[in-house]
Chain A
Amino acid sequence: MKFLQPTTLDEALAAKAEHPHALPIAGGTDVMVELNFDKHRPAALLDLNRVDELAQWAPEDGHIRLGAGVSYTRVIDELADRLPGLAMAARTVGSPQIRNRGTVGGNLGAASPAGDSHPALLAADAVVEVASVRGTRQIRVTDFFTGVKRNALDRDELITAILIAPSTGPQQFCKIGTRNAMVIAVSAFGLALHPERRRVGTGIGSAAPTPRRAHGAEDFLSAALDDEGLWDSRAELPETLATEFGGRVRDAASPIDDVRGSAAYRLHSLAVMARRALAWAWHDYRTSTSDGRA
């Protein structure tokens, strides 16, 4: 097996162009498991750990530009105020060791329907920046997942960064697992309120072939909040509204039965999580200052 170790992004992109079959490795928390279980025998590994450009984050044009190689631990420690939904999701990933190594870029690379960052990125309307020697593309995260463990990357492309707008309203992330830590999601839900746009963002995990948004629920709730003037009044949220929202989130999912849980439970739990998450987010919104910050 070839081991490629570029030290700059240009070198990395050149290496990927030259060896399109090379498997990128960031934290390695997915890659090494696959290798150890003999699920994957790549001809070459492309180690991205020395590429400094990928390991940085910075505010840029009103977004946070999160390098693909930034670890979950750093997201939690450094970005919880600006990207609360993603930080909450990061907090639920694996164990401290996995959070120290694992990256959001790797999560997107693996594109598992159970990837925990995905619902948060979907709810926040994030954009995935990918690059190759041919140039750079920006892909909306909604369009990024193309099938079970498949994503929109071309063979010569790498994920370079994730662009996420800092939160303008409360965000939540919930994840069901059958133990209280270190567990792959049975189902997960991400929620972001975007008061400035009067929109609600959602993300569903582990309950469809890919992570997906609950468009119907988003439209329903955004409209209802508008119609009843709730964005401005910040009045209490009618319980029926939250329940209806939960139901519509559930309806957007198409889960399967597997060893981790039944399809019926996944649907049920999504409805409950969505209702609760909305209640918490709305409570935060009501008690926050007018710029939306809690």
Chain B
Amino acid sequence: MSTPTRTPTGAPRELAGPTTGGVGANAQRPDAALKVTGEFAYGSDLWTDDMLWGVTLRSPRPYARIRSIEIGEALAVPGVHAVLTAEDVPGRNVCGLELSDQPVLAEGVVRYQGEPVALVAADHPEIARQAAKKIRVDYDVWEPVTDPMAALGHPTWNQVHDQPAEVSGLSRESAPIHPDGNLVRHLKIRKGEPAPTADVVVTGEYTVGMQDQAFLGPESGLAMPAEDGGVDLYVSTQWLHVDQKQVCAALGLPLEKVRLTLAGVGGAFGGREDLSMHVHACLLALRTGRPVKMVYDREESFFGHVHRHPAMMRYEHGATREGKLVHVRCEIYFDGGAYASSTPAVVGNGGTMGIGPYVVPNVHVDAYGVYTNNPPCGAMRGFGSVQAAFGYEAQMDKLAAALGMDPVELRCRNAMELGSESPTGQIVDSPAPVAELLRRLEAMPLPPEHGAGTAPDLRDLPGGVGNTTHGEGVVRGVGYAVGYKNVGFSEGYDDYSTARVRLEVIGGAPAVTVHTAAAEVGQGLVTIEQQICRTELGVDEVVVHPKDTGVGSGGSTSASRQTYMTGGAVKAACEQVREQLFGLAQQRLGRTVADLRLEGGKVVSDRQGVLGALADILGDEVIEETVEWRHRPTEPIDPEAGQGFAHVQYAFAAHRAVVDVDVELGLVKVVELACTQDVGKAINPEAVIGQIQGGTGQGLGLAVMEEILVKGGEIRNPSFTDYLIPTILDMPPMRIEVLEYPDPHAPYGLRGVGEPPTISSGPAVVAAIRQATGRALTRVPVRPEYITGT
């Protein structure tokens, strides 16, 4: 990979003084060596000697009434300790991230293929699996509702997409799947003229397939019954406290009796925001009085977590002859599947940011989230924005073509900037370098063409080692895209994180312990927490306390929010600790000193020099502060016009993709992906690069290969044999430029990093394929069939 460059753009002066590994440094992860050597304990490695294994019996049907469940035969299997069904849920048999609409165990009805119906605990996982097969469930099978438009009773579009042969499975049913109907959320934006006219108008319909998070560590956890009648749950998750609340409700236990600790997480990407085995393992543990471990295998994982919402989108863009956007109309249908999960927020993002980071005077948006009997969809990196970007960026290229204008030029003419007004009427009040991101990409040199005459390495060609071309049919294409995403929770949500910071002397040296419940899922929050403590307290030794519910909520590890939110909380807690320490120092000195600061384990004054070692000043004192920290409040948008200060921060990234397409065989090789992203302040520059590379890869995957194929509500490819994610031969080298324009409202000026690169990379790849092939390509992932027309 080429060396990434950083562009200093007036970020605050390096805060890391003589203390090493502070804010702005490439501090090493505390778990780096363990992970590289394979010694890191993931949730699936949890073990106690006397534990039982739990397994889940899932519905093979997408939609059915349960006539009866017979568990006798399963219970009789030697080694089986418990078989549980909905009747055994002591509390409320319902959970859900935003709406409580999902049973812990199916009760009377199953609404998707894979819905948990019964649980078994046994001495050995194999015994549990065999016993689960002996549970007799009598299903009265119903016709599944699989088309989101039909589910709402809306007329379905006459889409001319090249639907993959396996995917259609339409049902005209619109019978309500839930008592209140199939609409989860409808978001409307009505801004400007209701019937604007424009010189040039382009329309298009676009479809995005169902992507999976494909985290490598499957769902896993261990529930330990406790002496107080409660339970301790060790689990791989993204948000301990929201889990705790749901587990308590289902178990009928008070919060203090259900304690959660984060187990090692092998990737999340949104797929662990909802409950998986949490309640199930606790139910089995409380019933048997034994620790119960549950681990999904890959196939079960495909049924055990939510996926990215498939989307159907229709756009109309109007512009003046000079290329100024006049209006955008858009309709988006997000298929939420059987349960709501994050659908309301997905609709919120997809609706409010559905036209891209552009300034448009007249905006008309209808975004719908819908219940169907398809697999439940929820959070995945960049949600709402990822889907919409495939639509609006395709439209920008189409509009540029209609205007005879360069696509980058068109984007820059309409780019959002500091002071712009968003479609929700919000004034963008921190830097929004959309045009600069694009111009910087444009200025980067293009990768060389394959040398004429010399045979290129197969690995550099479409089809790779498959040896399908030696250059025949290969056409190069270049495409650009830009996207944006809200950071943190929006629309009036009370979004906060909690940090407890403790300063004491251990073995003669000052040491900091930082305790938050914010989930580390691989992104590096643990490193960030250490870096902030080092910078704020001038202490090298920072211990990250295990993440658990022994401290207040850290909020979700999602929405690119943890560095901002938990970082902000840690910073604020450090500041309080520091104030206390300065008080103590002045007490010890017996005088007031105005300009104290901490540096390299010492209390220093600019004018008076070193006043004392931290260790001496502290002595036996322990300073501990806990802070609940909030970003500035946002507002709900109004239901009729969709106006309001909905988002606390936007984050922007842009990509240029260079692809080689074998136009005859429809195979694609992405030659290079260049990315520019504004991160406000790179707290850990290497981690930022890692996020950009990973997010870009996930976007590329959605563009050209990643799709859960669903037919008649059933998943056809629940394995890594047929759910393909990019390999090193699919992921090209990247050129990355990181911009640092501080956001004055955010800690250190930082901007969330994790999601933006996932938004624009896919659309850039598809734009490049369009340029190479001349095809409209309105559905992603782009399959070879769409390019060859076969």
In the bound complex, do residue B664 and residue A272 qualify as a contact, i.e. CB atoms below 8 Å apart? yes
Among B164-188, those with CB < 8 Å from A are 164-166
- Taking a contact as CB atoms closer than 8 A, the residue among A37, A177, A183, A265 that contacts B790 in the complex is A265
With contacts A257-B166, A272-B664 taken as known, whether A180 is within 8 angstroms of B467 at the C-beta atoms is no
- Chain A residues, CB < 8 A from B667: 176, 178
Q: Across the two chains, which residue of chain B brings its CB closest to A177?
A: B466
- Taking a contact as CB atoms closer than 8 A, the residue among A175, A176, A267 that contacts B784 in the complex is A176
Cβ proximity bits B720-760 to A, threshold 8 Å, 1 near / 0 not = 01101011111000000000000000000000000000000
- Taking a contact as CB atoms closer than 8 A, the residue among B468, B709, B728 that contacts A273 in the complex is B468
Among B633-688, those with CB < 8 Å from A are 664-667, 669
- Chain A residues, CB < 8 A from B664: 272
Q: Across the two chains, which residue of chain A brings its CB closest to B469?
A: A276
- 23 example contacts (A-B, Cβ-Cβ < 8 A) are as follows A92-B467, A174-B463, A174-B467, A176-B466, A176-B667, A177-B464, A179-B705, A181-B459, A181-B728, A185-B466, A257-B165, A259-B709, A262-B164, A262-B165, A264-B785, A265-B784, A268-B788, A268-B790, A269-B665, A272-B473, A272-B664, A276-B469, A276-B470
Residue B216 lies at the interface, judged by CB distance under 8 Å to chain A: no
Which of B459, B468, B726, B728 neighbours the largest number of chain A CB atoms within 10 Å of its CB?
Answer: B468
- Chain A residues, CB < 8 A from B45: none
Residue A54 lies at the interface, judged by CB distance under 8 Å to chain B: no
B263 CB, nearest partner CB in chain A, Å = 23
In the bound complex, do residue A264 and residue B790 qualify as a contact, i.e. CB atoms below 8 Å apart? yes
Residue A207 lies at the interface, judged by CB distance under 8 Å to chain B: no
- Chain B residues, CB < 8 A from A38: 129
With contacts A181-B727, A257-B166 taken as known, whether A92 is within 8 angstroms of B465 at the C-beta atoms is yes
With contacts A265-B785, A265-B790 taken as known, whether A178 is within 8 angstroms of B724 at the C-beta atoms is yes
Among A145-188, those with CB < 8 Å from B are 172-186
In the bound complex, do residue B785 and residue A180 qualify as a contact, i.e. CB atoms below 8 Å apart? no
B302 CB, nearest partner CB in chain A, Å = 12
Residue A91 lies at the interface, judged by CB distance under 8 Å to chain B: yes
Residue B256 lies at the interface, judged by CB distance under 8 Å to chain A: no
Residue A227 lies at the interface, judged by CB distance under 8 Å to chain B: no
Residue A260 lies at the interface, judged by CB distance under 8 Å to chain B: yes
Complex Cα distance A260/B164, Å? 10
Residues of B within 8 A of A (CB): 129, 164-166, 297, 299, 459, 462-470, 472-473, 664-667, 669, 704-705, 709, 716-717, 719, 721-722, 724, 726-730, 783-785, 788, 790
Residue A258 lies at the interface, judged by CB distance under 8 Å to chain B: yes
- Chain B residues, CB < 8 A from A36: 297
With contacts A180-B669, A259-B716 taken as known, whether A92 is within 8 angstroms of B466 at the C-beta atoms is yes
A-B contact count (CB 8 A): 109
- Chain A residues, CB < 8 A from B164: 262
A255 CB, nearest partner CB in chain B, Å = 11
Which of B466, B472, B788, B790 neighbours the largest number of chain A CB atoms within 10 Å of its CB?
Answer: B466
Complex Cα distance A176/B719, Å? 19
5 closest A-B pairs by beta carbon, nearest first, are: A180-B464, A257-B165, A180-B729, A175-B466, A268-B790
- Chain A residues, CB < 8 A from B459: 180-181
- Chain B residues, CB < 8 A from A186: 784
- Chain A residues, CB < 8 A from B709: 259
Residue A247 lies at the interface, judged by CB distance under 8 Å to chain B: no
Complex Cα distance A268/B164, Å? 16
- Chain B residues, CB < 8 A from A4: none
Q: Across the two chains, which residue of chain A brings its CB closest to B707?
A: A259
In the bound complex, do residue A179 and residue B465 qualify as a contact, i.e. CB atoms below 8 Å apart? no
Cβ proximity bits A238-256 to B, threshold 8 Å, 1 near / 0 not = 0000000000000000000
B786 CB, nearest partner CB in chain A, Å = 10
Q: Across the two chains, which residue of chain B brings its CB closest to A264?
A: B790
Q: Across the two chains, which residue of chain A brings its CB closest to B662?
A: A272
Residue A88 lies at the interface, judged by CB distance under 8 Å to chain B: yes
In the bound complex, do residue B465 and residue A178 qualify as a contact, i.e. CB atoms below 8 Å apart? no
In the bound complex, do residue B717 and residue A259 qualify as a contact, i.e. CB atoms below 8 Å apart? yes
Residue A3 lies at the interface, judged by CB distance under 8 Å to chain B: no
Complex Cα distance A257/B163, Å? 12
Residue A261 lies at the interface, judged by CB distance under 8 Å to chain B: yes
In the bound complex, do residue B665 and residue A272 qualify as a contact, i.e. CB atoms below 8 Å apart? yes
Complex Cα distance A210/B665, Å? 23
Which of B462, B719, B724 neighbours the largest number of chain A CB atoms within 10 Å of its CB?
Answer: B724
- Chain A residues, CB < 8 A from B785: 261-262, 264-265
B130 CB, nearest partner CB in chain A, Å = 10
In the bound complex, do residue B666 and residue A181 qualify as a contact, i.e. CB atoms below 8 Å apart? no
Complex Cα distance A185/B466, Å? 9
With contacts A276-B469, A280-B470 taken as known, whether A178 is within 8 angstroms of B790 at the C-beta atoms is no
- Chain B residues, CB < 8 A from A269: 468, 665, 784, 788
Number of interface residues of A (CB under 8 A): 38
Other A-B pairs beyond A38-B129, A179-B464, A269-B665, 4, CB < 8 Å? A177-B464, A181-B459, A269-B468, A279-B472
A52 CB, nearest partner CB in chain B, Å = 31
- Chain A residues, CB < 8 A from B297: 36
Complex Cα distance A216/B665, Å? 23
B296 CB, nearest partner CB in chain A, Å = 13
In the bound complex, do residue A180 and residue B790 qualify as a contact, i.e. CB atoms below 8 Å apart? no
- Taking a contact as CB atoms closer than 8 A, the residue among B462, B467, B472, B788 that contacts A88 in the complex is B467
With contacts A176-B463, A180-B464, A269-B665 taken as known, whether A261 is within 8 angstroms of B724 at the C-beta atoms is no
Complex Cα distance A276/B472, Å? 8
In the bound complex, do residue A178 and residue B783 qualify as a contact, i.e. CB atoms below 8 Å apart? yes
- Taking a contact as CB atoms closer than 8 A, the residue among B166, B465, B665, B722 that contacts A181 in the complex is B465
Q: Across the two chains, which residue of chain B brings its CB closest to A263?
A: B165
In the bound complex, do residue A258 and residue B166 qualify as a contact, i.e. CB atoms below 8 Å apart? yes
Complex Cα distance A88/B463, Å? 14
- Chain A residues, CB < 8 A from B465: 91-92, 180-181
- Taking a contact as CB atoms closer than 8 A, the residue among B165, B467, B724, B783 that contacts A172 in the complex is B467
In the bound complex, do residue B727 and residue A180 qualify as a contact, i.e. CB atoms below 8 Å apart? yes
Cβ proximity bits A23-66 to B, threshold 8 Å, 1 near / 0 not = 00000000000001110000000000000000000000000000
A201 CB, nearest partner CB in chain B, Å = 17
Which of A173, A264, A267 neighbours the largest number of chain B CB atoms within 10 Å of its CB?
Answer: A264
- Taking a contact as CB atoms closer than 8 A, the residue among A181, A263, A265, A272 that contacts B464 in the complex is A181
Complex Cα distance A262/B664, Å? 16
In the bound complex, do residue B666 and residue A180 qualify as a contact, i.e. CB atoms below 8 Å apart? no
In the bound complex, do residue B788 and residue A265 qualify as a contact, i.e. CB atoms below 8 Å apart? yes
- Chain A residues, CB < 8 A from B467: 88, 91-92, 172-175
Q: Across the two chains, which residue of chain B brings its CB closest to A173?
A: B467
- Chain B residues, CB < 8 A from A259: 166, 709, 716-717, 722
- Chain A residues, CB < 8 A from B724: 178-179, 183
- Chain B residues, CB < 8 A from A177: 463-464, 466
Cβ proximity bits A178-205 to B, threshold 8 Å, 1 near / 0 not = 1111111110000000000000000000
Q: Across the two chains, which residue of chain B brings its CB closest to A38?
A: B129
In the bound complex, do residue A37 and residue B299 qualify as a contact, i.e. CB atoms below 8 Å apart? yes
Complex Cα distance A98/B665, Å? 27
Complex Cα distance A90/B705, Å? 24
- Chain B residues, CB < 8 A from A273: 468, 665
In the bound complex, do residue A176 and residue B468 qualify as a contact, i.e. CB atoms below 8 Å apart? yes
In the bound complex, do residue A178 and residue B705 qualify as a contact, i.e. CB atoms below 8 Å apart? yes
Cβ proximity bits A88-102 to B, threshold 8 Å, 1 near / 0 not = 100110000000000
In the bound complex, do residue B790 and residue A267 qualify as a contact, i.e. CB atoms below 8 Å apart? yes
Complex Cα distance A259/B299, Å? 16
- Chain A residues, CB < 8 A from B783: 178, 261
- Chain B residues, CB < 8 A from A260: 722
- Chain B residues, CB < 8 A from A178: 667, 704-705, 724, 783-784
- Chain A residues, CB < 8 A from B790: 262, 264-265, 267-268
- Chain B residues, CB < 8 A from A88: 467
- Taking a contact as CB atoms closer than 8 A, the residue among A181, A264, A279 that contacts B729 in the complex is A181
- Chain B residues, CB < 8 A from A263: 165
Complex Cα distance A172/B721, Å? 25
A115 CB, nearest partner CB in chain B, Å = 14
- Chain A residues, CB < 8 A from B729: 179-181
- Chain A residues, CB < 8 A from B719: 37
